[in-house]
Amino acid sequence: MKTHTLWITSIALCLSACGKQETAEPQAAESDQAAAPVEETQATTAEFDDAFIDHMHDHAEKLDELMFALADDDLLGAATPAYWLSQHETVEGVPEEWQNYLTSMRNAAYEVETASDLETARAAAEQISAQCQGCHDAAGVSAFK
């Protein structure tokens, strides 16, 4: 039961992280605070086209499927979304400094895909989540804002 709660919480954090963005720059002076987030959001969104954002949401959906399968003790069910995460076609526009997160995410997904037991798969799935969060941090996307 505790593991199930942990996975649901992790999934909820991943979903909320994919839906919200903020920049890593410090906030403007108090008088400019109301206008600054709107302008920063537009500037951040302008850098990535809809295909890029949709692709990142696809990552979140596959991670959700993988986590739900593991929460249900379904190792085979986790292998399908893990395969997609490890092998899918990449999207253009990923900055070079984020590539290491994607490579590590793919490697961890491959470990889930090829795991022979649930504990190994769950440990690798935690690494997928960690890589996603690391990339979101680098991109200025926060699950807590």
Give the integer Cα–Cα distance in Å for 70 and 83. Answer: 14
Q: Indicate yes or no: pTM above 0.95.
A: no
Segment 75-105, tens digit of pLDDT: 999 999 999 999 988 888 788 888 899 999 9
| Per-residue model confidence as pLDDT tens digits over 39-78 | 333 334 336 778 888 888 999 999 999 999 999 999 999 9
50-71 and 99-114 helices, crossing angle to 10°: 30
CB atoms within 10 A of CB 39: 12
